[in-house]
Structure 1
Amino acid sequence: MFAEAIEEILKDQCTPAAVRAIEGGKTPARLWSAIADAGYLELLAPEEAGGAGLPLAELFPILTTLGRYAAPLPLAQSIAARALLSHASEIPGGMLTFAPALRRMEDGRLVCPLVPFGTLAEQVLAEDAGGLLLLDCANALRTPTGVYGSQVATLAWSADSPGCRLVGAGAELASFSAALYAALLAGVMQRVFDMTLQYANDRSQFGKSIGKFQAIQHQISVMAEHVAAASIAAEAAFQSDTGRPAGLAAAIAKSRTSEAAQLVASTAHAVHGAIGITEEYDLQLFTRRLHEWRMAHGSEMHWDLIIGRAVLGSEAPSVTDFVRALGA
């Protein structure tokens, strides 16, 4: 129900033209208001705090829908943040994103490197010595990556900058971030696959659609396998009764979706050819998300190390038994 309703909003407000405009520096107020006014930011917040108290599993299709539309705003993070901050006396309004890391410099400055949606977020939530630190971006120096269309920026606050306050425990921030991006990646991969399949059926060469050629069929088949496997791994991270993604399930989800993102993007561009990299064609809107979200909060290599240590430290006789135990 919620996924279908938010898709109706995104069809109207999150068109490729709107994504391009926001990436180009236009105000995101219209899209943000459409989602916020419909109450979607409070989906995970408990009912006593004015939220919907939605089970975590029901959030997954909503996040994949955001991914399919290449949502250029930190909507997923803002939804999760309101759940993490539900115990706080005051939850900030506006766009809120998660920092992958927080560094305290010798001169007292706070630096959050490569923050997803750091170019336009109004608040940043970071883990700090086991707690959560909320930082006001109005007081931050933003340094964009310079990559075309990227919404990632490094944020820095001076030693005497106001607006920083501890708001709770931060142990869940990393796993929540991994799960969120796994779901977003699963959604955008499905969109890229659908576009690639449609293009292969529509594009003709030598008197027949290129999708009839065995080499193209093979590439698309492998692509479909990775999209399906990534989606299953991502959904598994949301099968929790606690309202929070389990750490190892989230790690596996982010690892698998990040790994698949590279292959899906490269196959899509291989099948599309030159048209796929043109600014006018929509494919690049989604494959750029694949590459950017793959790196957000750690690529597959980061999460593979965490998973590997857990496997080596477990008593499971095999990796298969280890994975099965996670779902038990």
Structure 2
Amino acid sequence: MDDLLSDALRQLLEDQCTPQLVRAVEAGQSPGELWAQIEESGFADAMVPEEQGGAGLGLSDVFPLFALCGSYAVPVPLAHTMLARALLANAGVARPQGSIAIATSSGMAARVSFGAVADWVLTGVNGATVLLPVAEANAERDVFPLDATLRWTEAAVARAQRIPGTHDLEALQACTAAAQLSGALMNTFNRTLQYANERQQFGRPIGKFQAIQHQLSVMAEHTFAARMAAQIGCHSAMATPDRLRVAVAKSRTCEAAIEVAALAHSIHGAIGFTAEYDLQLYTRRLHAWRQAAGSESYWQEVLGEELVDRRNGLALDLIRATTDIHQGD
């Protein structure tokens, strides 16, 4: 099932989400055509219960799809929308058309990952979870071109749809960021490995030099450890992740993002920094998604506080509880 889903989304993104399109959306072109293709494919409703028209998949099932969003630098919040629509469906709230970004906020303002391209934002205001239209917000573009700081008026917030229940939006956002990081890390590593095997210097590929081989091995270590950690963060049969598992996933993928981005550019040299070369599409995302929903230091503090609170337990117990993906949910 995982292979069928992954292959279907991979083919769609291979055809529709080219580096040229990603650049165009980052430059301000509407992602509407791409989103229409994704919407028609049904992937946006993959986590919605079957009785409400979705596929009823859990987080573990859709992890490969989240990772593909990172692998192809998808310039729309597909992973966010999948989780947000599942949350709305489970809360008995009608799902709107269009893409939904998930964000934590302070009052009526939110720094939103994908805020510049989303149609809606699922966020928290004054202790309530609300669904706000991006069209009614005052938008200020962030450093990363797909992100934005959005501010709504009191009137817009008063009109917004309230979502019943208590929801850990921070964990949801961090979960998607970790999974997308794992995909972008894998793409960055594969591109760098290919470049090292093709780039000739002193009569042979630079990948034959021991120094480059060492850098590639460090990249591989971080990349595959991050993927395993991201899988742990998405280990759930439901649409909601475990916060401690998310902490493991986000902290490890963030650590990897720093190292892998630096090593990729070191191996590529000057060409890796040019706008015309595709590498920067992925390394910029590594840095942007590392900051989204808390960096490694934030989530390491979450794990540290949990360890301190377990005064009568062993550190090994916490490690087992957060990393054993074979135990019951």
**Superposition TM-score tier, normalisation by shorter sequence:** over 0.9
Q: Deviations over 1:250-303 (max 9, x none)?
A: 111011101110111000000000000001110000101101111111111111
Amino acid at match of 2:224: A
Q: Deviations over 1:204-263 (max 9, x none)?
A: 111111111111111110110000111001001222234311110011101110111011
- Provide the residue aligned with 1:288 in structure 2: 284
- Provide the residue aligned with 1:270 in structure 2: 266
* Structure 2 counterparts to residues 69-148 of structure 1, below 5 A: 69-86=72-89, 87-103=91-107, 110-112=108-110, 114-145=111-142, 147=143
Deviation at 1:305, TM superposition (A): 1.2
Q: Deviations over 1:85-115 (max 9, x none)?
A: 0133421111110112232xxxxxx111x21
Separation (CA, whole Å) in 1 of partners of 2:18 and 2:147: 21
Corresponding residue to 1:51 among 14, 29, 54: 54
- Provide the residue aligned with 2:204 in structure 1: 208
Among the aligned pairs, what percent are the same residue? 44
Deviation at 1:132, TM superposition (A): 1.2
Separation (CA, whole Å) in 2 of partners of 1:318 and 1:221: 33
* Gap runs ≥5 in structure 2: none
With structure 2 as the length reference, what TM-score do the two structures score?
A: 0.93
Residues 132 and 269 from structure 1, CA distance in 2 versus in 1: closer, same or farther, beyond 3 angstroms?
Answer: same
Separation (CA, whole Å) in 2 of partners of 1:273 and 1:163: 52
Deviation at 1:176, TM superposition (A): 1.5
Deviation at 1:81, TM superposition (A): 0.4
- Provide the residue aligned with 1:244 in structure 2: 240
- Provide the residue aligned with 1:106 in structure 2: none
Deviation at 1:130, TM superposition (A): 4.7
The answer to whether 1:307 aligns with 2:278 is no
Secondary structure (helix, strand or coil) at the match of 1:88 reads coil
Residues 67 and 283 from structure 1, CA distance in 2 versus in 1: closer, same or farther, beyond 3 angstroms?
Answer: same
- Provide the residue aligned with 1:107 in structure 2: none
Amino acid at match of 1:218: H
* Gap runs ≥5 in structure 1: 104-109
> Could you tell me whether the CA contact under 8 Å between 2:104 and 2:169 is conserved in 1?
no
- Provide the residue aligned with 2:317 in structure 1: 321
With structure 1 as the length reference, what TM-score do the two structures score?
A: 0.94
* Structure 2 counterparts to residues 144-223 of structure 1, below 5 A: 144-145=141-142, 147=143, 150-161=145-156, 163-223=159-219
Structure 1 or 2: larger helix share?
2
- Provide the residue aligned with 1:254 in structure 2: 250
Deviation at 1:150, TM superposition (A): 2.1
Secondary structure (helix, strand or coil) at the match of 2:114 reads coil
Deviation at 1:129, TM superposition (A): 4.9
Q: Deviations over 1:113-170 (max 9, x none)?
A: x21011121111112455311111111000112x2x5211111112223642211224
Separation (CA, whole Å) in 2 of partners of 1:314 and 1:210: 50
Residues 322 and 38 from structure 1, CA distance in 2 versus in 1: closer, same or farther, beyond 3 angstroms?
Answer: same
Moved more, 278-287 or 82-91: 82-91
Separation (CA, whole Å) in 2 of partners of 1:78 and 1:279: 29
> Could you tell me whether the CA contact under 8 Å between 2:116 and 2:148 is conserved in 1?
yes
Separation (CA, whole Å) in 2 of partners of 1:46 and 1:325: 28
Secondary structure (helix, strand or coil) at the match of 1:154 reads strand
Deviation at 1:316, TM superposition (A): 6.4
Deviation at 1:173, TM superposition (A): 1.7
The answer to whether 1:23 aligns with 2:26 is yes
Where in structure 1 do 4 or more consecutive aligned residues deviate above 6 Å?
none
Secondary structure (helix, strand or coil) at the match of 2:122 reads strand
Amino acid at match of 1:101: S
CA RMSD, 1 decimal: 1.4
